[in-house]
Amino acid sequence: MKILQILIITAIFLSAELKLPTNFITEFNQTITNDKGKTIEYSGKLYFKQDINIYLDDLNSSREIRSRLFKWEYKRPTEKEVCSDGVELIVIDHELEQITRYLIDDGLDLERVLRVAKPITRRDYKATYRDIEYLITLDGEDRLERIFYVDSLDNRVKILFKGMKYNVLGFRSSHLECPAEPNYDVIEE
């Protein structure tokens, strides 16, 4: 379930409606409250980098290829790293000494979630996909501030970003790495 939530959140960042910088670094607090009122809180750091490459074919037509890389670095309540390149999701759980790799399949059409995101105020956006409504709030400088939604299991998910830094000079790609520990179990999903 947490993986699905991460996929959905990652998808929201890719929206054409929301202007993304070349990169950003932010701290996050994620709160998940189930339908019985039990709450779990997570916190950590999120890294994002977008590369845009333009290629010329034999007819000198240009083609733009974008890659968007994310790393969710969970610090609390347990240490965990979640990395994605838009094709594969890698989860490294240090407590379980386990690496799980997921292919992001077409079962969840992330592009559709993004295409339907519409501004409802200058700072707020709303997207409805598969009967789930996502609310996205930007701060006064049009940077991501908050994401809220209720998932298919009736969990209320709220993610708050603080200390958001866009277009960080000297952003290191090493921030996005999820190094595999050689002694960890590897699970392919």
- Ramachandran quadrant class, 142 (left: phi over 0; alpha: psi -120 to 50; beta: rest): left
Burial class of 122 by CB neighbour count within 10 A (0 to 12, 13 to 18, 19+): exposed
Provide the whole-model pTM: 0.78
Number of Cβ within 10 Å of residue 162's Cβ equals 11
pLDDT in tens, 77-132: 999 999 888 778 899 999 999 999 988 754 344 445 556 778 888 889 888 877 88
Burial class (CB in 10 A: 0-12, 13-18, 19+), 120: exposed
Q: What is the CATH number of domain 2-188?
A: 2.50.20.10
d(C-alpha 144, C-alpha 70), whole Å:
15
